[in-house]
Amino acid sequence: MVGKEELEAVTRVINSGVLSGFTGNVKGHLGGEEVQALEKEWCERFEVKHAVAVNSASSGLYCALAAIDIQPEDEVIVTPYSMTISATVPLLFGAVPVFADIERRYYCLNPRRVKEKITSKTKAIIVVDLFGLPYDADALNKIAAEQGIYIIEDAAQAIGATYKGRYAGTLGDIGVFSLNVHKHIQCGEGGIVVTNNNDLAERVRLMRNHAEAVIHDRFWRGENFNKRNANMVGMNLRMTELEAAVARVQLSKLDRILENVRNYAEQFDVSVRPDCKHSYYSIPTTKYRAKDNYREGYIKPIYKMPVFQSRGYTVRCPVCEEVERNIALVIPPPECFEV
């Protein structure tokens, strides 16, 4: 919920007269005070080296693929059961999404099914911590390391969840969080990209804010830069100072929100992966348990959408289709977020 603290933060920014600290050159490359403060606080909260604020988690996934230098015809293994951008984002680069089936109990990508899909063209796996439960990091990270491919973790629904003591979003090479209006904490729209890799972090920052102009500025200043970044073409995927100020307040409320949501979820029988803490973005069940916050089903298997059917996709993921037919979701009620 948005309260007086957020209003005070927004008022502070408006009174400063600086609604965005970004410009498309080296001087304004990193954004304003609020954006940089949010990134620093995010790093501290989630024990990660780099955090890069963007205007949405969808943009964050786009930046992540750009950072690993995805190319046309590269293959990216994706889940059929998630918000659509988790599977469609490779198409924006001319890359090929390859669907692997999910786990029956936990709804995340099944490591065995992923391994079956890997080819010489596989560049990355986009894993999704669905409904707030982290993916099987030990198994999938091992597969990725053996094959020399990247793990991009979509943790949009899993802020504050953990896997063996490590935070969701920090389990792969790059992680992406969401701050849109439907998430545990929000600033209207927004996202955060995290990584412990210096080079990947720099490439995400370049993609967020007109990479070509920043590199050009550095060239004429005589500054050193990674030559493989010279051909990057970035976009305006920046977060405003207003959004960052709200997000900072919301981040300070996260622990109390998670406690409320987890207490609420205790009444349901939810399968949780061993050594994990769930964040319960939504509570998966097969029974009608709450009249006010119940919704039947989630998303249809993504490969059934026209965007993939028109491309000739004939893949079938039997477990995903079974889950989709039987699942129901309970949404934590508004009072969980009133802190």
Whether the Cβ atoms of residue 185 and residue 38 lie closer than 8 Å to each other? no
The token pair at 13 is 């920014």
40 is catalytic: no
Residues 6+ apart with CB under 8 A from 228: 69
Distance of CA 67 to the CA centre of its chain: 14
Whether the Cβ atoms of residue 186 and residue 56 lie closer than 8 Å to each other? no
Whether the Cβ atoms of residue 305 and residue 84 lie closer than 8 Å to each other? yes
The token pair at 9 is 């933060």
Residue of 183, 227, 253, 287 marked active site: 183
* Location of structure tokens 């935070």: 167
The token pair at 176 is 């992406």
The token pair at 338 is 């009133």
Residues with catalytic annotation? Answer: 183
